[in-house]
Amino acid sequence: MENKKEEFNLEEIKKKALEQFRSGKSLYGKDGAFGPMLKSFLEAALEGELDAHLDEAERKEGNRRNGKISKTVQTSDGPVEIETSRDRNATFEPDIIKKRETVLADTLESKIIGMYGLGMSLRDISAHLKETYDADVSHATLSAITDRVIPAIREWQARPLESVYCIVWLDAMHYKVKDEGRISSRAVYHILGINTEGRKDLLGMYVSESEGANFWLSVLSDLRTRGVEDILIASIDNLKGFAEAIQATFPKAEVQSCIVHQIRNSLKYVASKDQKPFLKDLKEVYRASTKELAEQQLDSLEQKWGKKYPLVINSWRNNWSKLSTYFKYDPAIRTLIYTTNAIEGFHRQVRKVTKTKGAFPSDMALLKLVYLAYRNIRKKWTAPLQNWSLTVSQLSIWFEGRLNLSL
């Protein structure tokens, strides 16, 4: 170390450091004033680790130093070129800079994962790192760094859940994924829940080839395995067999089919010239103050439009038990459950991140990006829903004995 210390001209370093500091340049990178000192420190630390490794037992095995290799490691202050010693038996595993490690700073790694989670492509991230830190990081390295969130995803997917959720919304998003050279469709299933404290969280995220009631059944079974014992109200779209899948897993749950989905599906079968007057009459049904009044308005809708659009009217009749659940509750609860807008709002935020992607290279690549988007979105979920104390009090009356609220 004495020779290396002598290489440093402190006056020159001070002058160069001041110039770089004023200009905003990195002090530690390849051409930084403090670069040689950082290089010296890292190399000395690696030498010390190797000395400790080559103990008496290793030497008895014939192990010894075996030359040096050069490598460049990227840090948040720029690239640093170092020389590291090797051992003959290749049993040395350094800690300060691990074998094959090319990105040194945790801060740089977190920046990479953060940029990826905002929807930036690997090409854009690489260009940003080069411009900002003068760091040359390959796409393969960037992909390997983003893969480090996979264990966190697995742990999150298997985490224990609370025993009771007051309201859950269930819906799926659809994407394209490359599968053995072909482009295939994937459904990403999401379950958004409100706990007894009124706090929102994503309970589960699952990837499947298509959306269907059978897969939803496996998703719901997973919730039960992870500790969910009861769901009070489930708000869903109008997928066939969905409500039955919920009630097979959580028999006491009340199911509300999304009114907005039902309206959209209805208008597909109404001629464009009739859509405006039909919708005006339909509003009298789903905006009625009571279920009884809504049913009277549904009769009136059938009398006026039933002959022209029997398929639409029959759909409302056949699904009425699931569409009309919300009428029993007061406006605050109705607003929460009559549509799946809560989870669709979450999906809109996710799509802001994924919209620039074409087909994902794999299911895991899709899951990584959606999960990282969720991690950013959930930062805003810090407070209970507005007026939750009043809402949960009403729910405790409607669902007596199922909330176990503590005062």
Count CB neighbours of 3 within 10 A: 6
Question: What value does the mean pLDDT of the chain take?
Answer: 83
Which pLDDT score, from 0 to 100, does residue 84 have?
80
Query: Does the pLDDT at position 155 exceed 80?
Result: yes
C-alpha span between 219 and 212 (Å, rounded): 11
Same domain, yes or no: 307 and 174? yes
**Which of the four pLDDT bands, split at 50, 70 and 90, describes residue 75?**
low
Same domain, yes or no: 291 and 279? yes
Per DSSP, 103 falls in state B
405 in any annotated domain: no
Query: Does the pLDDT at position 80 exceed 80?
Result: no
Best mean pLDDT range from 8-12, 102-106, 303-307: 303-307
Query: Does the pLDDT at position 113 exceed 90?
Result: no
Identify each DSSP E strand in 5-123 by its residue range: 65-75, 78-87
Which whole-number Å values give the CA distances from 14 to 17, 27, 56, 78, in the listed order?
5, 11, 43, 19
Same domain, yes or no: 195 and 123? no
Read off the pLDDT of each residue in 359-387 and give the average, rounded to a whole number.
Answer: 91
Q: In 3D, which of 221, 228, 175 has the Cα closest to residue 347? A: 175
Which pLDDT score, from 0 to 100, does residue 123 have?
79
Same domain, yes or no: 317 and 285? yes
C-alpha span between 327 and 291 (Å, rounded): 5
Which pLDDT score, from 0 to 100, does residue 9 have?
57
Structural domain span for residue 43? 1-95
Query: Does the pLDDT at position 331 exceed 60?
Result: yes
Last residue of a domain, one of 67, 95, 123: 95
Same domain, yes or no: 121 and 187? no
Same domain, yes or no: 187 and 288? yes
What is the rounded radius of gyration, in angstroms, for the C-alpha atoms of the chain?
Answer: 30
Count CB neighbours of 76 within 10 A: 20
Same domain, yes or no: 225 and 238? yes
407 in any annotated domain: no
Which pLDDT score, from 0 to 100, does residue 60 have?
85
**Which of the four pLDDT bands, split at 50, 70 and 90, describes residue 8?**
low
Same domain, yes or no: 192 and 311? yes
404 in any annotated domain: no
Least confident of 63-77, 206-220, 298-312: 63-77
Same domain, yes or no: 301 and 348? yes
Tens digit of pLDDT for each residue in 214-231?
A: 888 899 999 999 999 999
Strands of 164-179's sheet, edge to edge?
200-208, 182-195, 164-179, 230-236, 254-257
406 in any annotated domain: no
Q: Where is pLDDT greater, at 95 or 237?
A: 237
Helices (H), 306-361: 310-318, 320-323, 331-337, 341-354
**Which of the four pLDDT bands, split at 50, 70 and 90, describes residue 134?**
low
Q: Two tokens at 403?
A: 């909330």
100 in any annotated domain: no
- Do the beta carbons of residue 288 and residue 297 sit within 8 Å? yes
Last residue of a domain, one of 58, 77, 95: 95
**Which of the four pLDDT bands, split at 50, 70 and 90, describes residue 139?**
confident
317 in any annotated domain: yes
Let me know if 278 is exposed, middle or buried by CB neighbors in 10 A (0-12, 13-18, 19+). buried
Query: Does the pLDDT at position 137 exceed 60?
Result: yes
Tens digit of pLDDT for each residue in 251-264?
A: 999 999 999 999 99
219 in any annotated domain: yes
Bridge partners, residue 164, by sequence: 230
Same domain, yes or no: 366 and 262? yes
Q: Where is pLDDT greater, at 351 or 27?
A: 351
C-alpha span between 118 and 271 (Å, rounded): 42
Q: What is the largest CA-CA distance in the chain?
A: 99
Which pLDDT score, from 0 to 100, does residue 37 have?
60
Per DSSP, 94 falls in state -
Query: Does the pLDDT at position 3 exceed 60?
Result: no
Count CB neighbours of 122 within 10 A: 19
Which pLDDT score, from 0 to 100, does residue 180 have?
79
Same domain, yes or no: 387 and 239? yes
Last residue of a domain, one of 95, 113, 136: 95
Give 65's contacts (C-beta < 8 A, 6+ positions apart). Answer: 50, 54, 85, 86, 87, 88
Q: Two tokens at 266?
A: 């209805």
- Do the beta carbons of residue 392 and residue 196 sit within 8 Å? yes
309 in any annotated domain: yes
Q: Count of residues for the chain?
A: 407
Q: Where is pLDDT greater, at 70 or 46?
A: 70
Give 289's contacts (C-beta < 8 A, 6+ positions apart). Answer: none
Query: Does the pLDDT at position 4 exceed 50?
Result: no
Q: In 3D, which of 104, 205, 95 has the Cα closest to residue 145? A: 104
Least confident of 54-68, 73-87, 237-251: 73-87
Same domain, yes or no: 126 and 230? no
Q: Taking the mean position of all CA atoms in its chain, how far away is CA 228? A: 21
Q: Which residue has the tokens 């977190």?
A: 110
Helices (H), 82-235: 106-117, 122-133, 139-146, 150-157, 213-225
**Which of the four pLDDT bands, split at 50, 70 and 90, describes residue 57?**
confident
Number of domains the chain contains:
3
Tens digit of pLDDT for each residue in 287-320?
A: 999 999 999 999 999 999 999 999 999 999 999 9
Q: What percent of the chain has pLDDT over 70?
A: 81
Which pLDDT score, from 0 to 100, does residue 275 have?
95
